[in-house]
């Protein structure tokens, strides 16, 4: 059975260091060393995964470095890579310019910069780390967290459109943790794609359905990050679990348990139901879960090939879970 081509690989966990000297100002830390990250990217590619997502934020540049090393062995036409912009790397202590930073040895922080110069610098620094001359997709990173909607509209997206016209990037959009802001962006620009993290999942999908339908109408492709809501849909619910990088509240754990109970009735694990819910959705173009080991890659590939009974989806819909 062939691999579902929607399944990609997220890079948030890549680019850790052996001494665990993690960057500051970064809630998503690389916990896989560069050496192991490269091996995992190569393994994923070998297993048929050809869609990759990263960001300067992840591992403070080391995730992109990991991909860049792995890409040296790949044919450029055989993979799709999305990275992000709007955050620049700076040395924590000396504030050295980007050209003088050693992201291997320096302690590095990331700062928001949505100016045209900042966007350009971010993109070209990413291309250097990735060993590429163009990006398949460029996403404005976390405009919701930066509270920089005005700057995004007036400066960042116009700069990204120029880069697209120049052929430096093929597609533009945003990577974001809410769906309301992209709807407002749609009033100003056509976005080729949006990466929506943790807001359209088996556990949380009712409020975002309008956004998904609107995006389909506008021919904006949707990539889903955080398909397991950072853990609650993929782990033992009788142990402490996380929900969007925080400890999951009891109400959501109970909801997940109800979905799990229904899934088990049809011989389907909660994790499988969560991933296949997205794989079957025609409005979803790609899914990029973070995978930190070959075991996780193999498991998600196997899950993506499972045949899920329609009765499961019918019951979940009847009970208003989807």
Tell me: pLDDT of 19 over 50: no
Residue at 45 is within a domain: yes
Residue at 72 is within a domain: yes
Mean pLDDT of 277-281: 97
pLDDT value for 148: 92
Q: How many domains does the chain have?
A: 1
Domain that holds residue 239: 9-318
Residue at 4 is within a domain: no
pLDDT value for 107: 77
pLDDT in tens, 183-229: 999 999 999 999 999 999 999 998 899 999 999 999 999 999 999 99
pLDDT value for 101: 63
Residue at 153 is within a domain: yes
Those residues whose C-beta lies under 8 Å from the C-beta of residue 239, and which sit 6 or more positions away, are none
Tell me: pLDDT of 146 over 90: no
Residue at 3 is within a domain: no
Pick 59 or 264 by higher pLDDT: 264
Residue at 2 is within a domain: no
Tell me: pLDDT of 92 over 90: no
CATH assignment of the domain containing 47: 3.20.20.100
pLDDT value for 108: 77
Query: What mean pLDDT is reported for the chain?
Result: 91
pLDDT value for 84: 97
| Residues 14, 30: Cα–Cα separation, whole Å | 5
Tell me: pLDDT of 21 over 70: no
Tell me: pLDDT of 172 over 70: yes
Residue at 1 is within a domain: no
DSSP 1-65: -PPPTTB-EE-TTEEE-TT----SS-SS---EEHHHHHHHHHHHHHTT--EEE--TTGGGGHHHH
Mean pLDDT of 301-316: 97
């Amino acid at each position: 059975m062939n691999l579902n081509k929607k399944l990609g690989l997220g890079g948030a966990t890549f680019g850790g260091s052996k001494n665990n000297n993690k960057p500051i100002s970064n809630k998503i830390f690389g916990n896989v060393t560069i050496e192991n990250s490269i091996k995992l990217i190569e393994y994923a590619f070998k297993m048929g995964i050809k869609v990759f997502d990263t960001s300067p934020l992840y591992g403070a540049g080391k995730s992109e470095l990991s991909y860049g090393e792995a890409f040296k062995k790949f044919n450029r036409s055989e993979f799709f890579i999305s990275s992000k912009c709007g955050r620049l790397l700076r040395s924590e202590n000396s504030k050295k310019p980007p050209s003088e930073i050693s992201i291997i040895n320096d302690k590095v922080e990331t700062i928001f910069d949505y100016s045209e110069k900042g966007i350009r610098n971010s993109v070209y620094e990413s291309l250097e780390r990735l060993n590429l001359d163009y990006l398949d997709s460029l996403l404005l990173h976390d405009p919701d967290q930066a509270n920089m909607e005005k700057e995004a509209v007036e400066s960042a997206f116009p700069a990204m459109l120029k880069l697209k016209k120049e052929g430096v990037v093929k597609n533009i959009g945003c990577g974001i943790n809410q769906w309301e802001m992209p709807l407002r962006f749609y009033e100003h620009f056509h976005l080729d794609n949006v990466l929506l993290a943790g807001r359209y999942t088996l556990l949380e999908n009712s409020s975002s359905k309008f956004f998904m339908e609107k995006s389909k109408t506008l021919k904006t492709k949707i990539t889903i990050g955080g398909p397991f809501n950072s853990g609650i849909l993929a782990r033992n619910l009788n142990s402490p679990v996380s929900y969007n990088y925080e400890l999951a509240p009891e109400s959501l754990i109970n909801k997940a348990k109800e979905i799990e109970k229904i899934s088990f009735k049809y011989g389907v694990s909660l994790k499988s139901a969560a991933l296949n819910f997205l794989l079957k959705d025609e409005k979803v173009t790609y899914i990029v879960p973070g995978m930190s080991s070959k075991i996780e890659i193999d498991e998600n590939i196997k899950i993506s090939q499972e045949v899920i009974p329609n009765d499961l989806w019918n019951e979940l819909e009847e009970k208003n879970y989807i």
